[in-house]
Structure 1
């Protein structure tokens, strides 16, 4: 809009900036384009859990576990849960630490863009990647290994809320842990190590009944174990509940723990997130 006066030409009134949601969507589109332009990173992100599923399903696919299920059916929910954590916790923990060390966060903080738009952009990136990776895992499992999909709307509803709560909690934890690495060079090691350990003690690679009690106790403190357990309840028949140390799927407890981590992860983000590296003060 412009206004004219007798003393001079029209004066332009600056347009208001788009809202945080609009900027977050635009930022998300930028993040997604940037991610897929790095072809090696994109291929590794999507291929790694698929390759593991193919390996485990090919090696143990004909083995029938207690409860009358094949190893192939057992590994699909485990790989989906690991894929959710990989695209959120691991990806954000490393990428944000690198952006901070390269001064990108400091420059963004100096622009008129609301801080919430930056985080919304990361959320869009994580959501798109997690959905695509889950779809690929389901396609590979059903086409090549005859994995049965959840039967009925109730199972799919359970799958939906586990996916949302698990992705939310791991995204917040990824943002929080990004402040731990001191440099871009150490980011991958600092973030990847706890993720790999959690995969081994949370029932992703090793059947939960083969793990010792102390490992299960440690794993129960983090979201991955509960995502894997909840998704087993979605993909496995009721006869497979004998595989659970507790004797049940514990859907209510899964929701409670994942919800608590969503709240706890948000608190950790608010307390620990930094726009500048430690060397910048």
Structure 2
């Protein structure tokens, strides 16, 4: 008696990554507590402050352009901090992360899918803000500036993904949203994303370089001509160092279970 050996179907590695990324995106898109604030708060705040309150304020402050850059940064922080921080904490707590490790899937697919999700949400946020700014906000920028701003926001999500991953490796699923908000909201305010630092107490501007959001905000402002003469390389180096440092911390923590 002979036993027939059926051929094992070969699955494309790229398809594995694509399916994992698709499922991760749909998972968060179907979560109103994540999708609605992430996609609606930046354009809502931009409409309120840049279009209704500060427009034509004078004094050289172009609110429609300045806040396009800073609220874009505010928006792309969220997929990193919450899309990584909360979901990793929940997956770790529920045993889903251990199950993923046991499955015959590419070892990097889990993190790669979350990174793709964060970048896709960042792209959607940029598109919504760009449409709102160019219509209601009256923003007119050359194509190079739009592309530069998009590149800053797309890759600027990386350090916040690393911070979110580190938070998710430390705290419980129940505590993760509160902890992420304690990082997200104060950092946004103290980095000058909601309003220029010149409108805030002097000590806030002095400590602003401590926050990664400030460095990303300076890059975004430079892309739209709101930080003339300011070098971009130091900010990019700081953000890259933050991303690598928190990724290493998170990896070490997750390796210990």
Structure-2-length-normalised TM-score: 0.89
User: What CA deviation, in whole Å up to 9, does each residue of 1:190-220 have, x standing for no partner?
Assistant: 1110111111110111312234554345431
Structure 2 vs 1, CA of residues 75 and 160 (structure 1 numbering), >3 Å: closer, same or farther? closer
Alignment of 1:63-82 (within 5 A): 63-65=57-59, 68-82=60-74
User: What CA deviation, in whole Å up to 9, does each residue of 1:126-177 have, x standing for no partner?
Assistant: 111110011101111111010222x253x35643542344122221221112
Alignment coverage as a number of residue pairs: 256
Corresponding position of 2:124: 132
Corresponding position of 1:234: 223
Q: Which runs of 5+ in 1 are unaligned?
A: 1-6, 242-247, 277-281
Pick aligned residue for 1:115 from 107, 111, 118: 107
User: What CA deviation, in whole Å up to 9, does each residue of 1:26-52 have, x standing for no partner?
Assistant: 100111222223345322220011111
Structure 2 vs 1, CA of residues 160 and 49 (structure 1 numbering), >3 Å: closer, same or farther? closer
Pick aligned residue for 2:80 from 74, 85, 88: 88
Deviation at 1:180, TM superposition (A): 2.3
Name which one, 1 or 2, has greater alpha-carbon Rg.
1
Corresponding position of 2:240: 259
Q: Distance in 2 between matches of 1:274 and 1:23?
A: 23
C-alpha contact 2:83 2:114 (8 A) present in aligned 1: no
Corresponding position of 1:106: 98
Q: Distance in 2 between matches of 1:75 and 1:13?
A: 58
C-alpha contact 1:81 1:231 (8 A) present in aligned 2: yes
Corresponding position of 2:54: 60
User: What CA deviation, in whole Å up to 9, does each residue of 1:240-274 have, x standing for no partner?
Assistant: 64xxxxxx422121222122223223322322236
Structure-1-length-normalised TM-score: 0.82
RMSD (Å) for aligned C-alpha atoms: 2.3
Q: Which runs of 5+ in 2 are unaligned?
A: none
User: What CA deviation, in whole Å up to 9, does each residue of 1:1-60 have, x standing for no partner?
Assistant: xxxxxx5143224345543x4322110011122222334532222001111111112111
Higher strand share: 1
